[in-house]
Every structure is written in structure tokens, then in C-alpha cells.
Amino acid sequence: MALYGEARDISMFRHVNRELMGNIISQQVAIYKFRLEETKVNLYGEAAHAKYYDDPVLLYCLIERQNQSYPESDFGVDFQWGITFKFLRDDLVDANVVPEVGDIFLYQKGYYEVDSTNANQYFVGKNPDYPNKGDDGVNPLENDLENFGYNVSIICNTHYVPADKVGITKERF
């Protein structure tokens, strides 16, 4: 039987993280979910006319900025800026949001498109979804491993996208 990582430990860890993210760090980002079913694509899988997004959801996150770079090409000087956004998984579950490749984040008047997501940060190193049971449903060493561990966060790697390429505008009513 594991000593740490049960429901009481997870509850304390969750409470401290939420207080830290909301009351101390307080960095927020707006998430625009990409609506694939409404976006018309061409033969190459590219959006032919307009891309459609759900209304934004505002969430707390940790932000890790990379250095800006200005590579040169045949078309002139370009601008690149990658940012990593780290969300508490519980906040995403409560907001009913799952970040996916192609979603757009709005941060400090800049738009960032999700390149990849990672959800492999576990409290006490254990994913409770996999209690390591055999085909017979029994683990010969431990019998209650599904009660231990916790999936802590989802980490999204993004790149800067110019506002005119995103096409998200505030409409008048």
C-alpha cells in the first residue's frame, strides 16, 4: 500500500495549487476552441475561407516565454515567439475545456496557436487511470493503486500567429 498520494493528499495539493495560481501568480489567458466541423477546408486540409472558434474561456495558467527571434527569409524578416502555457487540469475540467492542436490562446494582445499538448505530469509519479492490474483484474503486489496518484497539469506549446491570419475579430451588434 502506498503511503502518499491518496485523496486527502491530493485535495491539499489541489487546494494549494489553485490558491497559488489564482491569488498569487494570477496570469490569465483566453482560450479559443477551434470548431473543425464548421470550418470549410480545401483539398489540402487548409481553411479555404474563414476559421470558426468558440467563445473564449478565461483561465489561470503559468506562462513560460521563450526568446523572440527574427529569422530572415527570401520574403524579408519574420517574427517568431514561442510560449508554453501550463494549466491545472482541474481548472480545465471545471471549465469543460480540452486544449488541442489548432486552438488559439490570446495573451497580452497576441495570438498563439497550439502546436502540442502534454498531460504527463503526475502527483507522486502515478497515473490513477492505470492501476497496473493483470488480465484477471488483480495486482499481486498492491490491490488499491487506483486510489493513488493524480494527473496534475496540461502543458501547451504554442507559436505566435499574426492577428490577420487568425481572423478573430470583435463583432458589433
Q: How many domains does the chain have?
A: 1
Establish if 104 belongs to a structural domain.
Answer: yes
Quote the CA–CA distance of 90 and 80 in Å, as a whole number: 31
Establish if 133 belongs to a structural domain.
Answer: yes
Give the range of the structural domain holding residue 143, as residue numbers without chain letter. Answer: 7-166
pLDDT digits (tens, 9 = 90+) for 81-105: 899 999 998 899 999 999 999 899 9
Establish if 171 belongs to a structural domain.
Answer: no
pLDDT digits (tens, 9 = 90+) for 18-38: 888 888 888 999 999 877 666
pLDDT digits (tens, 9 = 90+) for 57-85: 999 999 999 888 888 878 877 788 899 99
Q: Cα dihedral sign for 11, 121, 62, 34?
A: negative
Residue 2 has pLDDT above 70, yes or no: no
- The mean pLDDT of the chain is 80
Establish if 2 belongs to a structural domain.
Answer: no
Q: pTM for the full model?
A: 0.77
154, with CB counted inside 10 A (0-12, 13-18, 19+), is: buried
